[in-house]
Amino acid sequence: MKKARQRLPALALTLLAVAPLRAELVEIRWSAEQRSEHRFNVAPGRFAELCGPLAQGAEVRWAFDAAAPLDFNIHYHVGREVVYPVRQPLQVRAEGTLAAAVAQDYCWMWSNRGAQPVPLVVRLVR
């Protein structure tokens, strides 16, 4: 029992060392009015993602405002391949409508290349 307890901190440190570092990953939560709003503070060198399932043909109007330029994309995964319906580098604000080509988990993602945290407000409407 004592040996198992001694190994636990080493295991925890190993898992922390190999775990990917993320700023924040949030599941989309829709209100009764089919809206979702989220605020992030994207750390330097990190990213923030807002993800959720969409049915084929579903449309989502999206908009965001950031305090500094962020790389932005909307993507989904097919096996190891990443498909990008939208990809826009260094945006402070943008808006558009995503029409889901396939039923999939879609992610809105912002990456911070800068040296300071960047406040970000995201709005989605179905």
CATH number of the domain that 92 lies in? Answer: 2.60.120.680
For residue 15, being part of any structural domain is answered with: no
Q: State pLDDT tens for residues 51-71.
A: 999 999 999 999 999 999 999
User: pLDDT category, 3, cuts 50, 70, 90?
Assistant: very low
9 located within any domain: no
CB 66 within 8 A of CB 110: yes
Asked whether residue 117 is assigned to any structural domain, the reply reads yes
Q: What is the pLDDT of residues 11-56, one digit of tens each?
A: 333 333 333 445 589 999 999 999 999 999 999 999 999 999 999 9
Mean pLDDT of the chain: 87
Structural domain includes residue 111? yes
Is residue 96 in a domain? yes
Residue 83 placed within a domain: yes
In a domain, 103, yes or no: yes
The parent domain of residue 76 ranges over 22-125
Secondary structure E strands in 15-80: 24-27, 35-42, 47-54, 59-78
HSE-CB of 26 using CA atoms within 13 angstroms:
20
Number of domains in the chain: 1
